[in-house]
A and B are shown apart, each in its own frame.
Chain A
Amino acid sequence: MSSATPTEGTAGGTSRRRRGPRTWLAALPLIAFTALAFGLPLGALLFGAVTRTDPATGATALTGEHLSRSLQGPYLGSLVGSVQLSALTALIGSVLGVLIAQAVVTSRSQALRSAVLTASGVLANFGGVPLAFAFIATVGISGVVTQLADLTSLGWNLYSFGGLAVVYLYFLIPLMVLVIMPALDGLRPQWREAAQNAGAGGRQYWRHVGIPVLAPSLLGGFVLLFGSAFAAHATAAALVGGSVPLVTLKIADALSGNVMVGQENVALALGLDMILIAGLVMAIYLPLQRRSARWLR
């Protein structure tokens, strides 16, 4: 069947029509896989979060009990803690990332640029466990810098909210540099020259031209950083254990066994809460990214 096409379908129209059904089949494995490996766990999560199974009868009933428990007491505290930490680190990371990217772009040095881009590509993926240990060795209790500079007497504590923020910035700033660099490149020198020719100063240029053009990318970058900090678990798990309330740590606690009955469903409900927050974040990010792409061609 497939070998017949090139000899017959010399006219473009017929071959195009024939390709239809077959190409559709090539996308099928991906769709089937996503449904199985992604849709099934997601469905299980959703189902477990809103139902309760009676241990005696085995009957399953719809309930909002788990969700409301996940929004109370320590669970709510962990959600709020996660959102606070993510918002704070995303804000600082965006500002510092833009500053570094702008410094690199204006330096006009190709070597610096490629070095920063490569380093950012690696460091943005350098989350998780290795990052936590690098910081423990540096500014942990017996870390090298801690002892050299006697940070403990200055009130420094790595295993705290602030300490965690410093660690998170290590992979968030490079991420922002990667995201914002193309946008800064898209600011054409001609625009600046046009503004100058029209009599605008540097501040006026940024206020009326630079920032409005960059705004979607800036917001999009912030949102991406937020999502990335919000979902981070390994770094926090290796670093603070349980001393900072974070929703990812609470879920891992509830899942990894020896806890009360019914805790698992609360973990599922917390997972659902996270998905809702992350979904909200993505719903902001995707349209913004499309909008910023309009200017950056």
Chain B
Amino acid sequence: MAAMTPTAPDVTPESGTRPAARSTAPVRTRRRPRVWRGLVLGLGGAYFLVPLVASFVFTVHTPGQGVSFEAYTALLSADGFTESLLLSLGLAAATIALSLLLAVPALVAVRLGAPRLRPVVEVMCMLPLVVPPIALVTGISTVLRWGPDHLSRTPLYQTFLAVQNEDFPFVLVLAYTVMALPFVYRSLDAGLRAVDVPTLVEAARNCGASWPYVMLRVILPNLRSSLAGAAFLTLALVLGEFTTASILGFRPFAVWIVSISGAQARMSVAVSLLSLLITWALLLVLSRAGTAPTGTPGAPRTSRKES
């Protein structure tokens, strides 16, 4: 039954062949797969669970001293924990806002009236995949060095200083937005593919809706799950990002974890574990928020559940 559901929409014409074939196939092919399937899933499960369980044991159990949860309780008062976490969350919020603000109008626009721009936008969004973060950051640090070298007497120099502000390094938001664009693009593109944007927009406009109204009340609600997906991926990216921040000399969450690992190994592992659990919880919440019925008309919802 479970196997019928996903293929059901596609196979209606041939569905007559299924029951006949089913009665013979299971007898011949079912026996052996069960053994290797169990083996593969068992080994895979062990490989993915052991590090998590062992990390937890490592944080609470000191050989010879017994069990203590000090690594977790001391966390909140640890030097730099709150600051770096808040910095990372702030950067994540700014990155999500910026990338969605840039990508949503552009993607809707290429579907509405500028199909010739579509390959341009696609290439622009996917190109960052070709450039590893470390290569991007070498470029960024070169550009930032132009500031003191060449521009120190121009008004542009103030901008250079402003984006490198220790309290909120906006240059990181720029870099993270570039890195997030491919994921945001893919998520939004998949969402838009399931929606007939021109028809929706035309219908809404014919009913007298203004452009902001069309975007906020017609397009965006239809994209809820892909917006949530894009936001989640961006959040995960920013919270775990180490390369760019450490090379440019800022201290968000991931850099902080590394910096305490020498003195407080237990705490760094505890934080790593917590960050995984937080990511997991966020994914669950967001996937629920993206698909849960909240009162809007839900005709296209079933088609979006897969993505």
Contact = CB atoms under 8 A, between A and B. Distances in A.
Contacts of B117: 24, 27
A267 B272 CA distance: 30
A10 B206 CA distance: 8
Counting from the closest, the 10 A-B pairs by CB-CB distance are A41-B139, A130-B272, A231-B132, A234-B242, A271-B135, A26-B109, A137-B58, A23-B113, A45-B139, A19-B113
A77 interface: no
B295 interface: no
Given A12-B202, A126-B279, A252-B247, A23 B54 contact: no
Contacts of A275: 130-132, 135
A294 interface: no
Main secondary structure of the interface of B (DSSP, over half): helix
Contacts of A110: 2
Chain B interface residue bracket vs A? 35 or more
Interface in A222-238: 227, 230-231, 233-234, 237-238
Contacts of B48: 119, 123, 170, 174
B175 interface: yes
Contact of B135 (A10, A45, A118, A190): A45
Nearest to A35: B124
Interface of A: 2-3, 5-6, 10, 12, 15-16, 19-20, 22-27, 29-31, 33-34, 36-38, 40-45, 48, 96, 99-100, 102-104, 106-110, 112, 118-119, 121-123, 125-131, 133-139, 143-145, 147, 169-170, 173-174, 185, 188-190, 192-193, 196-197, 202, 227, 230-231, 233-234, 237-238, 248, 251-252, 255-256, 264, 267-268, 271-272, 274-275, 278-279, 282, 286
A105 B105 CA distance: 37
Interface of B: 2-3, 6-7, 10-11, 14, 17-18, 21, 24-25, 29, 33, 36-37, 40-41, 44, 47-48, 50-52, 54-55, 57-59, 61, 63, 101-103, 105-106, 108-110, 112-114, 117, 120-121, 124-143, 146, 174-175, 177-178, 181, 202, 205-206, 208, 210-211, 233, 236-237, 240-243, 246-247, 254, 257-258, 261, 265, 268-269, 271-273, 275-276, 279-280, 283-284, 287
A20 B114 contact: yes
A115 to B, nearest CB: 10
